[in-house]
Amino acid sequence: MSADGHTWTLLPPLPVAGVSELRAGILQALDVLLDGRLAVWGTDPKTGLPPENSSASTLISSFWLWIWDPVAQTWQALPSPLNVTTNEGCGLCWQGLAATSRAGAIYLYVSRFWEGAAGDTPPGLYRIRLADA
C-alpha cells in the first residue's frame, strides 16, 4: 500500500490465527472499491491458517471475502463465505469488479475461471452486496 505513490509498505496480515508477514492469509486481491477499500479472498476468520507443515486438503470449499479499509487501517470479513469448491492452487483464478447501483449500493461481482477438475463447482458469476465504509 502507498499513500503517496512513492513509499510502499505491505498490507498487514489478516487478523486471524496462524498469519505472519510471510503468510498473510490473503489468497487473491479482487478489486478496489469505488470508495478506496480493497476486496480480497482470504482465510476463514474463525479458524485462521493451518500450520505450515499440515497436509491441507487440495480442495477449498468456501471463500471468505475480506475488506481492507485504508482510512481506518482495518480488515473486516463478511459474516459468511461464498460456498464454491475449487482447488487450493487456484488462488488466482478469480476476477472481480466493483460497481455502484443508482441507489448508491456497492456490489462486488466475482467470477472464476474453471479447469473442470474433479470436485470443483462449475463456474458462475456471483454478486455480493457490500456495506458502505
One-letter amino acid identity for 97? L
Q: Please state whether the predicted TM-score (pTM) of the whole model is above 0.85.
A: no
Segment 26-70, tens digit of pLDDT:
888 999 998 999 999 988 999 888 777 655 555 677 889 999 999
Q: Which of 13, 31, 9, 35 is nearest to 22 (CA)?
A: 13
Contact 62, 91 (CB under 8 A): no
Tell how strand 64-69 and strand 74-77 pair up.
antiparallel
Residues 101-121, mean pLDDT to the nearest whole number: 80
CB 27 within 8 A of CB 9: no
Cell of 42: 482470504
Residue 76 has pLDDT above 70, yes or no: yes
